Chain A
Amino acid sequence: MSFISTISSWMIPLIILIVLISASWKKLPSYELFVEGGKEGIQMAFSLLPFLLGMMVSIAILRGSGALDAFISMLSPLLQAFGVPPDIVPLSIIRPISGTAALGMTTELINTHGPDSFIGRLASTMQGSTDTTLYIITVYFGAVGIRRMGDALKVGLLADLIGIIASIVIVTIVFAR
């Protein structure tokens, strides 16, 4: 596994190396191109701000009021009936909605149950194998001005659901309880 962490730390410097060598080889004005492309980034960050802020505030109101917790505890018995461990329920519901909240919950679960416990492993797998659908849709569609998003949200949330079920099944098979 140390092989994998070596790859990930070499990755970015290697990309930079390859890009700059091939650009210089083709006698391109690499620095000027970098600056030109980078300027787009500033604009992009600012145009993203209202999309992110709007979505994050709305999620915060839902969480802050306690409505989200109430919803989760309402849903818990149902999910437990399907064999979902109760401690993991909040994480599986928050994961598609808010990345920072999910990361906080995973840390919390690992802290209380220990990283090598069943819950700890399950939270780790779930955190790694799903993504914050609402954030991705907000950022990607917001940045390019897509207003009608078709089936994107439905497809994304269904994929999350399957990812969560898959995590539970696989961790149960691999590590047993």
Chain B
Amino acid sequence: MRKKLLSIFLCIVMAVTMLTGCGGKSTTTGKDGGSKKEDTKKDDEKPTATPAVTTVGEGTPLEMWTFVELHSKFYAKMVDKWNKENPDKKVKITFTTYPYADMHNKLTMALQTGEGAPDLCDVEIGQFPNFTKDTSSLYPLDDAIKPYQDKLVKARLDIYSKDGKIYGAPTHVGATVMYYNTKILKQYGIDYTKIKTWDDYAAAGEKLKKASNGKVMMTSVDTASVDWMWIAMSEYGEDWTTTKDGKANVQLKSVKKMLNMQAKWLKDKIAMVSPGGHVDMEEGFANIGDGKIASFPKALWYMSRFLSYMPEMKGQWAIAPCPVFEEGQPRSVGIGGTGTIVTQQSKNAKLAAEFIAYAKCSEEGEKGIWNELGFDVCNTSIWNDESITKDKTNKYLQYFVTNPFDVLNEVKDEIGKINVKEISTTINSQMCDTTLNEIFEDGVSVDDALQEAQDAVDSEQ
């Protein structure tokens, strides 16, 4: 009997160990799983599937991880400039580009175990709260950023700060604007400059539907991104991460208004659901490129997507402030971003911090960010620097019908800020996995879906 029991036990043990052994070999894909859950997308082209490693410069060796290859290319150029300007503090940086989710997971584990983290690392804003849960593993950047601080948009430094210390060097403002396809709108006799409110927007959508026989829709609503909610919250000055009692609340007036409005658009067939869940992925680019939708709101960093994925649409797209629910509301919100961190594991943390502050926050760096990556930089003096804003050779200024800097200066004081906190990751995954799908795909009522979302968020706080 005992033998029998023992043998059965051993059999189970063997089976379990064998199976988990098989299951333990997991590899992750280069596909971005992050943007579905995070409230922000890549600032740039899709991450590569294989880690690309390059070493630049000569001097103190540093290691840096990014999730966008273009970023490493930009930093590499800044290494050369830094070494020219600081011959006594030369750096030699080895850049590794990982897929989005892999890089953040690797960094989490490296900081948790206290081994193997790089000196510098790009962290996407949606992931940032996961790393500031415990700031002991991050090196504060206050001293390094100080020389440039007065010229930077303070709100962008705040989102990467905790307890009064800055832990991430910002990349851009991420002002959200409306992109309009002027070619389509003109063809059907619609003047986008007249659109001021969401009611105007819906009316234009109706007109477009009739004129084009339902071939073109006004926009596409997202099931895997919360950008639209952010726009609504900014307009009403609300923020779902922080309400009066300091708790997160997704049942806000602004969110309800936006969701009900979008559900109505779908019913009236003036909008479609974004193929693939949101516009910042292959299916989305194809949908825009095929002229199926005439407009959509997105942060200014989306300009680079046009150049990368829809170069043939040059001269068709205009940029304008977002419509509002009631005239006089703020017409933009800062979405997305990458904060670059320096880890405490770095042997040369001070040097790494000085370099990254120079590369991202100095005038030189900011100009580079605009020219290379096409981002609306945090240094507002550049927004009025005519050598930049009127630069005829710039590929971004050439592509669009309107000048992005005009729009940026117009909404300069209306760019709302939504906090990204620890609870944000829960809110976003609940919204993008469940709530938005229920409302837009399954026809669940907005109130029910939001109540369910609130319950899920409450269980986390």
Q: Do chains A and B stick together as partners?
A: no
Chain A residues within CB distance 8 Å of chain B = none
Chain B residues within CB distance 8 Å of chain A = none
